[in-house]
Chains A and B, each alone.
Chain A
């Protein structure tokens, strides 16, 4: 089976940096994905790490360490619109297994 652990919520001010950690236990591992969900709407894909290291996409970066079964999503220069839930997910062929999500609240 798959098990993913992430913090339930994080609060930060505009302009700050937030790191959302995700640890996983899986029966097979291909990589780690991150999705964003605003107000319970459609989850949208943010990033995918198949190899160890940091992937940067604009203000968001994602990191993976396969040996530690650990990854994180880094949100920089936080904006109000970044207030959302963020999910780490492990894809296994066609099936996505999600963590419970981290609610990020950005304060002015």
Chain B
């Protein structure tokens, strides 16, 4: 049973370009979460999605960032007009149910975004 798959593993963009990060959840998981991790810091929640719905995007910057989880295909985190401060590791996690208080979220290996 494949785990959470993220691609690309590494992404380099120049300032002003767009970055698209993809996440395929574990089989049978319909709940997807995106987190951002800066060096020497913990993961920070960005957005929670179910199929075709954004449930909570309270951790996502209001501008330039968007996320989707279409009926078919992977979840996409999109960053427009990237700036140096967007350089970070972006992790996707998935779960089979909404309440993950005592059920672990399963994380992908992350996408390391570098902005030149």
How many residues on chain B are close to A (CB under 8 Å)? Answer: 31
B42, A93: Cβ atoms closer than 8 Å: no
Number of interface residues of A (CB under 8 A): 26
Between A33, A42, A50, A91, the greatest number of chain B beta carbons within 10 A of the residue's beta carbon is seen for: A42
Give the Cβ gap from A14 to chain B, nearest Cβ, in Å.
Answer: 25
Judging by beta carbons under 8 Å apart, are A33 and B104 in contact? yes
Which residue from A8, A33, A42, A100 sits with its C-beta under 8 Å from B107? A42
| A-chain residues with CB within 8 Å of residue B95 when the two chains form the complex | 94
A-B CB contact pairs (8 Å), 22 listed? A30-B102, A31-B101, A31-B102, A40-B89, A40-B110, A42-B107, A42-B109, A43-B107, A44-B107, A45-B105, A45-B106, A48-B101, A48-B102, A50-B102, A87-B42, A87-B43, A94-B33, A95-B45, A96-B105, A97-B45, A98-B44, A100-B40
Interface residues, chain A, with chain B CB atoms under 8 Å away: 4, 8, 30-31, 33, 40-45, 48, 50, 87, 89, 91-101
